[in-house]
Amino acid sequence: MEQLHPAFKADTKTRILDTAERLFAADGFDRTSLRDITRDAGVNLAAVNYHFQSRDALVAAVISRRMSPVNARRIELLEKFEAQPGGPTPEQVAEAFIVPVMEAGAQFENVRPMMGRMLSTPNEFLKRLFETHLAPIGARFLEALGKALPGVSQLELMWRLHFMAGVMSHIIAFSRVLPMMTNGTCDLSDTKAVSARMITFVAAGLRASSPLQESV
Amino acid sequence: MEQLHPAFKADTKTRILDTAERLFAADGFDRTSLRDITRDAGVNLAAVNYHFQSRDALVAAVISRRMSPVNARRIELLEKFEAQPGGPTPEQVAEAFIVPVMEAGAQFENVRPMMGRMLSTPNEFLKRLFETHLAPIGARFLEALGKALPGVSQLELMWRLHFMAGVMSHIIAFSRVLPMMTNGTCDLSDTKAVSARMITFVAAGLRASSPLQESV
DNA sequence: CGATGAATCGAACGTACAATTAAAACATAC
DNA sequence: GTATGTTTTAATTGTACGTTCGATTCATCG
C-alpha cells in the first residue's frame, strides 16, 4: 500500500485527508465525526475548518482526490476503444467502466470501501457530489453503449447502463464484507480476475436481446 | 397505495412504524431522529421507547415488517420452480429473486427506497440485521443456481449471485433518483416491465461462459 | 362506582456534534 | 532580529440527539 501511517510525517492537510478517507471507508460518512478524524490524525479539531472550510468541503475533497483520476482513466480507455476499427465492443465498454475503479481499489487500500459508501449514502450533499462526478460519466458511457449495441433503443441502453453500474457498485460497496459473507470464497485481492468475471457477466447482459422489443 | 395517512386513525404503534418507514425511506436511517418520527406521526417522543424498547429495535421492526413477507415469497417461488420437470432455469431463479421485491415495492410506496437504504447504510447494527435477513436467502439461492447451472463451479456461482444482487440492489436503491437522473426516461412504475428487463439482463449474465474456466 | 394496568404526556438527563474564537506557536523574509 | 503571515492550539457556543423519569389520562373489569 502506498499510504503512510498518518501519525508520521505528511502535513496536516494530507493527514486529515488520509485519515478521513480511512474512517469514511470504515464507518461511513455520516457516522464519522470531525472529532474521530482529528483524534486519529493527531491534529487539532479546528484544523479541519481551517484547511477545508467545512465538514462538507472535506468530504468533497476526500472524494474528488480519488474519483477524478478514475473518471479520467475511464474516458481515456473509452476513447481508445472507440478509435478501434470495430468500434467498442460491449466487453470494452464494461472494461472501461469497471477496470479503472478496481485498479484504484488495488492501489489505495480504502478507495473501494470509500466509493462504496459514496455510492450508497443517503446524505443529500453526497448525492449532489455524486451527481457532479457521475452524471457526465453516465452520459459518456450511454453514448459508447449506443455505438457498441447499435439498434438497441435509448431506453433499453439506459436501463442496462444502470444494471452494469449496479453490478460494480455492489461489489465495491461490499468489498469489505464480501469475503466474510462468503466464508472467504469471494476474494477481491485478484483484481484482474474479479474484473474479468464482472466484464463477462455484464457484457452478456448487455448483449441479451431486449425482453420488450424483440426487433430492431 | 394501501397506507393511510398516519395522522388519522391507526394505533400509536402502527403510526410510528408507518411514519418511520416513510422517513427512513426519504432521509435514511441515520439521519432520521426519533423526534422527526414522533413529530410527523403526531405521537409523544417517549412512545417509541415505550412500544419498542430502543431506536434500534424500532429500525429492526420497520425492516422485518416488509422483508419477511418478501423473503417468504422468494422461497415459495423458488420451490415452485424447482419442482418443475426441467428444474429451475436461470430466468426463474432471477425471477424468484427479483419479482417479490418489485411487487412489494409496488404495493407499499416506501418499501423500495427503504430497502435501498437498508442495503446501503454502513450502520453496524443494520449490517447485522441485513445478515440475519439475507444470509439464509443467499444460501438458498446459491443452491438453486447450482441446479439451474450445473457444471458451473461454486466459486463462479457465488460471484454471479452477487452480481445478480447488485443489479437489483442498485435499481432498488436508486428508485427515487433514477427517474430524475434519466430525465424521466427510466420509470419504475411499470413493475412488470422493469422486472422483465432485469431478469433478461441477469439471466444472460448467469448463462455466460466462465471467463476463467472455459471447460466443464 | 372504584380499582388496576396500559398508554400517553411534558420535562429533563447526559452526551455528542460542527463550528467559532482569540491567543499562541511557527515559519519566512527583510 | 524583528516583523509579517501562516498554522496550530485550547476553550467555548449553541444545537440536537436517545433515553429515562414521574405524573397523568384512559380503558377495562370486578
Q: What does the pLDDT look like over A29-49, one tens digit per residue?
A: 888 999 999 999 888 898 899
In a 3-state reduction of DSSP, which class is residue B192?
helix
| Three cell numbers written together for A212 | 420488450
Shortest CA to C1' contact from B35: nucleotide: D17
Q: Give me the CA B20–C1' C18 separation in Å, rounded.
A: 26
Neighbours of B130 (CB within 10 A): 19
Are A101 and A168 contacting, i.e. CB atoms less than 8 angstroms apart? Answer: yes
pLDDT tens digits along B168-202: 999 988 887 787 778 888 888 899 999 999 999 99
Nearest CA in chain A to B172: A166
Are A38 and A125 contacting, i.e. CB atoms less than 8 angstroms apart? Answer: no
- Say yes or no: Cβ of B48 under 7 A from any atom of strand D: yes
CB distance from A205 to chain B under 8 Å? yes
Nearest CA in chain A to B173: A120
- Say yes or no: Cβ of A43 under 7 A from any atom of strand D: yes
Neighbours of B21 (CB within 10 A): 24
CB distance from B120 to chain A under 8 Å? yes
pTM of the model: 0.89
DSSP category for residue B185? -
pLDDT at A213 over 70: no
Are B112 and B26 contacting, i.e. CB atoms less than 8 angstroms apart? Answer: no
* Residues from chain B contacting residue A102 (CB–CB below 8 Å): none
* Residues from chain A contacting residue B28 (CB–CB below 8 Å): 30, 121-123
pLDDT at A65 over 50: yes
CB distance from B204 to chain A under 8 Å? yes
Confidence of residue B128 (pLDDT cuts 50, 70, 90): confident
CB distance from A128 to chain B under 8 Å? no
pLDDT value, residue A2: 33
Q: Could you identify the residue written with the cell 444470509?
A: B135
Stretch A130-136: mean pLDDT, rounded?
A: 83
List, in sequence order, every beta strand (DSSP E) within chain B.
Answer: none
pLDDT tens digits along B31-46: 899 999 999 999 999 9
Q: For B167, which of A121, A155, A163 is closest by C-beta distance? A: A163
Stretch B54-75: mean pLDDT, rounded?
A: 95
pLDDT value, residue B5: 45
| Three cell numbers written together for A120 | 450508497
pLDDT value, residue A86: 86
Helices B154-173 and A154-173 pack at an angle, to 10 degrees, of: 110
| Three cell numbers written together for B153 | 463451479
The region of weakest confidence among A84-93, B121-130, B146-155 is B121-130
* Residues from chain A contacting residue B159 (CB–CB below 8 Å): 186, 194, 197, 201
A169 vs A180: CA distance, rounded Å:
18
pLDDT at B215 over 50: no
A69 vs B169: CA distance, rounded Å:
26
Q: For B171, which of A162, A174, A204 is closest by C-beta distance? A: A162
| Three cell numbers written together for A4 | 503512510
Say what percent of chain A tops pLDDT 90: 57
- Say yes or no: Cβ of B36 under 7 A from any atom of strand D: yes
B144 vs B147: CA distance, rounded Å:
5
pLDDT value, residue A131: 79
Nearest to A97 by CA among A28, A179, A159, A168: A168
Residues 49-78 of A with CB under 7 A from strand D: 50-51
Amino acid at A155: L
Nearest CA in chain A to B142: A182
Stretch A81-93: mean pLDDT, rounded?
A: 94
Considering only residues 45 to 74 of chain A, which have any Cβ-Cβ distance to chain B shorter than 8 Å?
A: none
- Chain C bases near protein Cβ (<7 Å): 7-12, 16-22
DSSP category for residue B214? -
Q: For B201, which of A31, A117, A160 is closest by C-beta distance? A: A160
Confidence of residue A183 (pLDDT cuts 50, 70, 90): confident
pLDDT value, residue A28: 85
- Say yes or no: Cβ of A11 under 7 A from any atom of strand D: yes
Q: Taking CB atoms and an 8 Å limit, are A30 and B31 in contact across chains?
A: yes
